[in-house]
Copies of this chain bind each other. A is one copy, B any other.
Amino acid sequence: MTRTRLSEPTKTATSGSIAQALSLAIHEHRILPGTKLVEDELAEIYGVSRTVIRAALHSLSHIQLVEIRRNKGASVASPSLVEAHEVFEARELLEPRTAHSAAHFATPADIARLERHIEDEHAALEAADPGRALYLSGLFHNDIAHIANQSTIAGFIETLVARSSLIIALYWRRESALCEKHAHHALVKAIEDKNEKQAEELMRSHLVDLHSALDLKKRSGRVLSLKDALSQ
């Protein structure tokens, strides 16, 4: 996954790049669950036809980041509490295993990248940008899945991490995500030490911790205009 390019406007938006941009905006909570995603509006914003927008929306709907109802259009998905628990239960099943394998396969370059993720995440929190911190936190988990060298499972985890971002927007009750910093640090340490069993156990407890931080009732969310939310 490459970082978003900044200022060159000549980038002809393709359905993939638009899906990625929308996905990032959802990850960072610039557009919240329930927001209607109107095809014409998005086509205008990205300077392409509805055809391309439709492809992007459909690909996001497949990973359940957006929900498409026939003749009703697309909106950012709004997982139920049951789905929320399911997502975290699935993560608790998959990710400890990937942490185990990651501890086996990780190279020094991998370790360095993971540590950079943690630093960036911390910097985003310092800069009062919790949305970006959340996104980076997701990248951290995805990166571990890829290091584990199981691309099929890594693909599943990517969708689970993405949906987790929606869930956090709806059900999160904890004030800061700072507590995660130590958990992530300890995890990297275990992976660096090639302590597979410990990495697995740290990942498991980390996820249980996140899962327990879900609230029981939905939060209300104000919805910004798409133009504003997608202007970067």
Contact = CB atoms under 8 A, between A and B. Distances in A.
Interface of A: 55, 58-59, 62-63, 83, 86-87, 89-90, 93-94, 97, 150-153, 156, 160
A86 B153 contact: yes
Complex copy number for this chain: 2
Contact of A83 (B87, B90, B152, B156): B152
Given A55-B58, A62-B59, A152 B87 contact: yes
Contact of A90 (B63, B150, B160): B150
A90 B152 contact: yes
Given A93-B94, A94-B93, A152 B86 contact: yes
A223 to B, nearest CB: 26
Contacts of A83: 151-152
A151 B79 CA distance: 13
A152 B156 CA distance: 10
Nearest to A62: B62
A59 B150 CA distance: 23
A72 to B, nearest CB: 15
Contact of A86 (B58, B89, B151): B151
User: What are the 4 tightest A-B residue pairs by CB atom distance, in nearest-first order?
Assistant: A62-B62, A86-B152, A90-B152, A156-B156
A216 to B, nearest CB: 19
A148 to B, nearest CB: 11
The winner among A55, A62, A93, A152 for most chain B CB atoms within 10 A is: A152
Contacts of A87: 152
A86 B101 CA distance: 13
Given A90-B150, A93-B93, 18 more contacts: A55-B58, A58-B58, A58-B59, A59-B62, A83-B151, A83-B152, A86-B150, A86-B151, A87-B152, A89-B150, A89-B153, A90-B152, A90-B153, A93-B94, A93-B97, A93-B153, A152-B160, A156-B156
11 contacts: A55-B58, A59-B62, A83-B151, A86-B151, A89-B150, A89-B153, A90-B152, A93-B93, A93-B97, A93-B153, A156-B156
A49 to B, nearest CB: 12
